[in-house]
Amino acid sequence: AQKITQTQPGMFVQEKEAVTLDCTYDTSDQSYGLFWYKQPSSGEMIFLIYQGSYDEQNATEGRYSLNFQKARKSANLVISASQLGDSAMYFCAMSGKVAYSGGGADGLTFGKGTHLIIQP
């Protein structure tokens, strides 16, 4: 079984500061994918970044980067130069398969989320 743990229920950060959101995971799969999603109050889950278990480089997407430490089973999200619009719930998730294993990815297992509030 897969498990995602997010230990920060809520965070307050000053605008323009960098933010690190913690995520640890547990799985017996050798091949898996790790995701971060943002959920504003509207409810829609917005895909931010993806890391495959065999990817050697940490993933980056604009202001988002994923600090992947496989041995520690952690996949922390780093947001550089935070903005007021970054205020939202953030979820870490994992899938048991990655695209190149064929057949698409399995359903996602989500953590409980971190409520990030950016203060001016």
- Chain residues binding other proteins by CB under 8 A are 4, 33, 35, 37, 42-47, 50, 52, 91, 93, 95, 98-100, 102-113
50 is written with which tokens? Answer: 């993806």
- Compare residues 113 and 118 and give the one whose CB is closer to other proteins: 113
Shortest distance in whole angstroms from residue 63 CB to other proteins: 18
- SS3 (DSSP) at 36: strand
Instruction: Identify which of 37, 35, 6 has the alpha carbon closest to the alpha carbon of residue 22.
Output: 6
For residue 27, which phi and psi values (nearest 5 degrees)?
A: -160, 155
Whether residue 64 contacts residue 75, with contact meaning beta carbons closer than 8 Å, is answered with no
- Is the Cβ of residue 16 or residue 45 nearer to other proteins in the bound state? 45
> For residues 68 and 113, which CB has a smaller minimum distance to other proteins in the complex?
113
Residue 87: CB minimum distance to other proteins, A: 17
Measure the CA–CA gap between 12 and 83, rounded to whole angstroms.
Answer: 12
Cα 59 to Cα 55: distance, rounded to the nearest angstrom: 8
To other proteins, the closest distance from the beta carbon of 29 in angstroms equals 14
Closest distance of CB 83 from other proteins, Å: 22
Complex with other proteins: residue 13 or 108, whichever CB lies closer: 108
